[in-house]
Amino acid sequence: MSDDVQKTVFAIIAKEAGIDESKVTLDSTLKDLEIPSLDAIQIIFEIEDHFKIQMPDRDPNFDTESVKGLIETVEKLVADKAANPNPPPANPPSA
């Protein structure tokens, strides 16, 4: 797991949820951190903006998945983007 991604995601969660960064751990879920859904979608938005990626709509699950799962998803999307810098649109017009 890349330290950079982890550090950035921790910082975004802390900032958007208005909580101390020291409270965020790899094992915490957004539910443990008492982050309401409106804050959760802002966290996703900021992560997408920062890493220039697009997170799937329902993954990670805001309530049950841990911060670790969130970071793994981000890392996978960042790696996919590096491997394929100009992907076709997710839903091409012909679909």
Partner 1 sequence: MSRRVVITGVGAICALGHDARALWQGMREGRSAIAPLTGFENQDMRVKVAAQVRGFDPAAHFDSRKLILLDRVSQFALVAAREAVAQSGIDFAQGDLRQRSACVVGTGTGGEVTNDECSRRMYGEGNPRLHPLSIVRRMMSAPASQVSIEFGITGPSFAVSSACSSANHAFAQAFALVRSGVADVALAGGTEACLTLGVLRAWEAMRVLSDDTCRPFCKQRRGLVLGEGAGMVVLEDFDHARARGADILAEFAGAGMSADAGDIVMPSDIGAARAMTAALRDAQLAPEDIDYINAHGTATPANDPTETRAIHVALGEHARKVAVSSTKSVHGHALGAAGALEIVAAIGALRDGAVPPTANFIDPDPECDLDYVPNAAREMPVRAVLSNAFAFGGLNAVVALKRAA
The rounded distance, in Å, linking the Cα atoms of 19 and 73 is 22
**25 belongs to the binding site for partner 1 (CB under 8 A):** no
**91 belongs to the binding site for partner 1 (CB under 8 A):** yes
Angle at Cα 86 formed by Cα 95 and Cα 93, nearest 5°? 15
**93 belongs to the binding site for partner 1 (CB under 8 A):** yes
**84 belongs to the binding site for partner 1 (CB under 8 A):** no
**4 belongs to the binding site for partner 1 (CB under 8 A):** no
Q: How far is the CB of 29 from partner 1 (least distance, A)?
A: 16
**18 belongs to the binding site for partner 1 (CB under 8 A):** no
HSE-up of 52 (CA within 13 Å, CB side)?
7
The answer for residues whose C-beta is within 8 angstroms of residue 46's C-beta and 6 or more apart is: 12, 15, 16
User: Contact residues for partner 1 (CB under 8 A)?
Assistant: 36-38, 41, 44-45, 54, 57-58, 89-91, 93
